[in-house]
Amino acid sequence: MNKIKALREKMMQLEIDGMIIENPVNIFYLTGIQAEGTLIINDKENLFITDGRYIEDLNNSLTIDDEIIALSVHTLEKEEYFKMFENCIKVGFEENYITYAEYTNIVRKYRIKEATETDGLIEKMREIKNQNEIVYIEKACNITDNCFLHIIDFIKPGISEKDIAIEIQKFIIENGGDGLAFDTIVASGENSSKPHVIPTNRIIQKGDAIILDFGAKYNGYCADMTRTVFVGEISDETKALYDFVLKVQTRAFNKYKNNADCNEIATSVQNELYVHNFDLIHALGHGVGLEIHEKPILSTKSNYTLREDMVVTNEPGIYIPRKIWN
Amino acid sequence: MNKIKALREKMMQLEIDGMIIENPVNIFYLTGIQAEGTLIINDKENLFITDGRYIEDLNNSLTIDDEIIALSVHTLEKEEYFKMFENCIKVGFEENYITYAEYTNIVRKYRIKEATETDGLIEKMREIKNQNEIVYIEKACNITDNCFLHIIDFIKPGISEKDIAIEIQKFIIENGGDGLAFDTIVASGENSSKPHVIPTNRIIQKGDAIILDFGAKYNGYCADMTRTVFVGEISDETKALYDFVLKVQTRAFNKYKNNADCNEIATSVQNELYVHNFDLIHALGHGVGLEIHEKPILSTKSNYTLREDMVVTNEPGIYIPRKIWN
């Protein structure tokens, strides 16, 4: 089904008469439009209000089947905004996206009678991927997998964390990715216990552990891969730890099933880590799609249920400050 | 002066007793901290609340001179949040950054007596750059200039818009940039009148006009360059148009002076375009800094005054659908 139609059905169930959608990711998801603007769903039609940079392109690409009317912000009079929701009482907005200032502005601008939070309505639709979306994510994952194979060949003593990050970016854009799904993390040696965001000039040395966290984007859809690799020989203690985390991950993976409770899975991982005096310092996993972090969250504080056609990560980790990797 | 001290002075003038800062760009600007978290300014101290991924690194890098206490979100009890603003009446928040949902959440979470909008207080501070910031922006501009010189050599019939975009990205990351300041625009031939966001597979042909819009980031600071280039010979009509826009830009540039009125400058450009039946379909310019689009805006609808040490763009343009570049 057309995604806007599916949204309209959900709005009807919630007795919401209209909706203002500003989040460009949600707009792309619903319409395929990649332009800055506002999507208006009212009792009669679907409007997309945008500016001079996009309007010509939209008028050429939108067809009657899209059921979207593109309007230029420059030609709209004040009164035309009032008319958009004149037959609507409850108008939904994206309380998790629009700012407090935008909220006060839209209520005034559209003369909204009853602005209502929608509790991530569109984000919830996005949790369940359709077959096209899954194909795009698989393609993003393939590019990311190939990049990993390339990068473990590329890593050697003498190059820096930054060199590795640049090579990852180059590989992804040269091999069909739109670009990076998120800023690459390359954390080596003493940096590997503090997986911070910016690759440094630190030079890779023999015996280093390196945490790689990266992913490609394909047709707007993200991949997310985390791997710990070692340069040369490692101690038995380190190997045992690596194998332990891998085992924990594998056991968790077997629990990723339709109707499984996310909290239960994360708690079982946390308990396995507790037994060895470790802790789960971040979520076990999260949904992936048009954004790198989507619902559901798999954590000991979350309350989601896994459903068929969700796409989620499984990334337990142990971080030991200054203990093992030097 | 320390930027947090400067902020505290401005808060005092506005009779704001405390402030909650969530925008990571503002947090980086004020503290140099590049980590997800919340900066709390209260009557006694500056707190940075973050999570397990960042806390070790922060505790190592923050010194007594930073006057910032890092707290882990995992160890904070509910009551500790209540205490943070117990001596504050008016607590400012970033109404242009936090969502409506976050607004309702912080009021509850910190038991705020009087949450108050701050009208872009920190963003206003960021309009005026200090000497370090100017050096970083100049460096970002240098990398971007060199990239342009490289790319005009690189462009030739037979390659695609995407090829050009990839080469720009490669050049910037290989020549000292942190990465791109924003998604590169490469719009050629019939695409050049609709400067949309995504470079396509369209193959560059002799006689094409190509709009390039790109920039490097350096130490977090952005550069923003727009250029129209031509492949091979162009018609006299096209050349006349190019020269016209260049002249308009140069005349505008001569008006970029301390105390100049942004609206007046943009209006004078618009009037020059009107004379030849063109229009200014986007803003004439905008501030550049840690973000690619900052205040002030130079447009016929804006109301800003240029001040010394602001960094702003000057980018008039004419877009003629399907008329000239084919």
In our burial notation (b when 16+ CB lie closer than 10 A, e otherwise), range A289-317 reads: bbbbebbbbbbbebebebeeebbbbbbbb
Using DSSP bridges, classify how beta strands A216-218 and A209-214 pair: parallel, antiparallel or unpaired: unpaired
What is the model's pLDDT at position B80? 96
What is the model's pLDDT at position B224? 98
Q: Do B53 and A195 touch (CB under 8 A)?
A: yes
Distance CA A294, CA A126 (A): 8
Distance CA A35, CA A181 (A): 19
Determine which of B99, B102, B173, B286 to mutate to test the interface with A (most A C-beta atoms within 10 Å): B99
Q: Which of residues 199-258 of A touch B (CB under 8 A)?
A: none
Cβ neighbours of B170 in A, within 8 Å = 170, 173
Give the nearest partner residue to A34 out of B51, B54, B198, using CB atoms: B198
List C-alpha distances in Å: B35 to A285, B26, B31, B32, B231.
20, 12, 11, 9, 44
pLDDT tens column, A186-216: 999 888 876 666 788 899 999 999 999 999 9
Q: What percent of chain A has pLDDT over 70?
A: 97
Give the nearest partner residue to A99 out of B53, B54, B99, using CB atoms: B99
Q: Which residue has the higher pLDDT, A321 or B203?
A: B203
Residue A299 near residue A266, CB atoms below 8 Å: yes
Confidence of residue B195 (pLDDT cuts 50, 70, 90): low
What is the model's pLDDT at position B56? 80
B201: closest chain A residue by CA:
A176
- Residues 6+ away with beta carbon under 8 Å from A213: A184, A185, A195, A224, A225, A226
Distance CA A189, CA A208 (A): 5
What is the model's pLDDT at position B325? 44
A94: closest chain B residue by CA:
B100
List C-alpha distances in Å: B199 to A50, B63, B160.
20, 45, 8
Q: Does A320 touch chain B (CB under 8 A)?
A: no
Q: Do A56 and B193 touch (CB under 8 A)?
A: yes
Give the nearest partner residue to A98 out of B99, B198, B319, using CB atoms: B99
pLDDT tens column, B22-77: 999 999 999 999 888 999 999 999 999 998 778 888 888 887 777 899 999 988 99
A74: closest chain B residue by CA:
B281
What is the model's pLDDT at position B324? 46
Q: Do A169 and B174 touch (CB under 8 A)?
A: no
Give the nearest partner residue to B52 out of A57, A93, A282, using CB atoms: A282
Q: Do A282 and B53 touch (CB under 8 A)?
A: yes
Q: In angstroms, what is the C-alpha Rg of chain A?
A: 23
Q: Does A195 touch chain B (CB under 8 A)?
A: yes
**CB–CB contacts below 8 A, A to B:** 93
Q: Does B95 touch chain A (CB under 8 A)?
A: yes
Name the helix (H) or strand (E) containing B24.
helix B24-31
Determine which of A20, A36, A53 to mutate to test the interface with B (most B C-beta atoms within 10 Å): A53
Give the nearest partner residue to B100 out of A98, A319, A321, using CB atoms: A98
Helix, strand, coil shares of chain A as percentages rounded to 5? 40, 20, 40
* Spans of chain A, pLDDT less than 50: 324-326
What is the model's pLDDT at position B197? 64
What is the model's pLDDT at position B153? 97
Q: Does B323 touch chain A (CB under 8 A)?
A: no
pLDDT mean across residues, chain B: 92
Cβ neighbours of B184 in A, within 8 Å = none
Give the nearest partner residue to A53 out of B53, B101, B282, using CB atoms: B282
Q: Which amino acid is at A106?
A: I
Distance CA B84, CA B210 (A): 54
Q: How far is CA A260 from the centre of its chain?
A: 21
Q: Do A52 and B281 touch (CB under 8 A)?
A: yes
- Residues 6+ away with beta carbon under 8 Å from B64: none
Q: Which amino acid is at B34?
A: Q
